Amino acid sequence: MPKCCICNSAVDAWGEHPHKHQRSEFMRLMQAVGSDLSIYLCPKCGCNDRDRHLWLYLTAIGIIGEIKNLNILHIAPEAHIESLIRNIGPATYVAGDLFPKKHEHVKVDVENIQYPDESFNFILCNHVLEHVSNPIQALREFYRCLVPGGVLLAQTPYIPLLRNTFELNVPVSESFAKVFFGQEDHVRAFGSDIENYFREAGFKGQLLPHGVVLPGIDSNEFGVNINEPLFVFTK
């Protein structure tokens, strides 16, 4: 029986994304990698497949066991992941967002981060780079703010079939973005060159396939997208 790794509940079945059938034909044909909309929601706690995959990945690479010792910057924090991290009690935890919606969140512009060099051991920034004006600048800021050996985990939707990242030279309309970038507020569709963005900013690392990080983890049982790799990079 499927089990949610966020709330530790057994579930009969994962819920579909309510807008599953609104996915554009382009994104389907291009085999875009992001959420699996067929196994999206946990019926018990409401977490999504990205939350579950992220928590499994963090556990597998040992971050969860080290959280108490870490100074963490978490950008656009996922509610379920934020709660789990806070409950463990990291040394420092900054939940940052460009438009904070909670009093405990801090306004952070990832292209101009206000924290000093080498402030954090671990930066978590998921599904943000497809929104920002200059992803290289954001990644350089993350690099600056990490201590040597620090880790950046930055899950991002992308299209492996694209040789190069797909962007426009003009402002993107919501209708165009929804069809070709997957969501109205996305400004690009990353392609198979996505690792180059991290390397240009100074990072080392690569996209690690699900099967390498989580061997033996059945995607349907745990409600995750087996095609989503782990975006893990180090300073």
Tell me: the pLDDT tens digits for 73-90? 999 999 999 999 999 999
Average pLDDT rounded to a whole number, residues 114-136:
97
> Which amino acid, one-letter code, is at 223?
G
CB 104 within 8 A of CB 77: no
SS3 content of the chain, % helix, strand, coil (to 5): 30, 20, 50
What pLDDT, in 10s, does the model give residues 176-219?
999 999 999 999 999 999 999 999 999 999 999 999 999 989 99
Kindly list the distances between the CA atom of residue 21 and the CA atoms of 25, 155, 171, 204, in Å, as whole numbers in the listed order. 10, 23, 27, 38
Res 32 pLDDT > 90: yes
Residue 209 resides in a domain: yes
The token pair at 23 is 């996915």
Q: Report the alpha-carbon distance of residue 215 to residue 180 in Å, rounded.
A: 32
Residue 30 resides in a domain: no
Residue 221 resides in a domain: no
Share of the chain above pLDDT 90, in %: 95
Res 22 pLDDT > 90: no
Residue 1: band (very low, low, confident or very high) from pLDDT cuts 50, 70, 90: confident
CB 210 within 8 A of CB 226: yes
For residue 169, the domain's CATH number is 3.40.50.150
Residue 149 resides in a domain: yes
Residue 4 resides in a domain: no
Range of the domain at 99: 65-213+226-234
State residue 66 phi and psi, 5-degree precision.
-105, 0
Where are the strands (E) in the chain, listed by range?
71-75, 92-97, 106-107, 120-125, 146-153, 204-208, 230-234
Q: Report the alpha-carbon distance of residue 156 to residue 49 in Å, rounded.
A: 14
Q: What is the mean pLDDT of the chain?
A: 96
What pLDDT, in 10s, does the model give residues 153-184?
999 999 999 999 999 999 999 999 999 999 99
Residue 108: band (very low, low, confident or very high) from pLDDT cuts 50, 70, 90: very high
State residue 73 phi and psi, 5-degree precision.
-110, 120
Residue 22 resides in a domain: no
Q: Report the alpha-carbon distance of residue 149 to residue 52 in Å, rounded.
A: 26
Q: Report the alpha-carbon distance of residue 114 to residue 198 in Å, rounded.
A: 21
Residue 159 resides in a domain: yes
Q: Report the alpha-carbon distance of residue 52 to residue 39 in Å, rounded.
A: 11
Average pLDDT rounded to a whole number, residues 212-228:
94
Res 31 pLDDT > 90: yes
CB 48 within 8 A of CB 35: yes
Q: Which pLDDT score is estimated for 71?
A: 98
Residue 19: band (very low, low, confident or very high) from pLDDT cuts 50, 70, 90: confident
Average pLDDT rounded to a whole number, residues 129-141:
97
Kindly list the distances between the CA atom of residue 129 and the CA atoms of 16, 89, 100, 148, in Å, as whole numbers in the listed order. 25, 27, 17, 22
Residue 46 resides in a domain: no
Domain count, the chain: 1
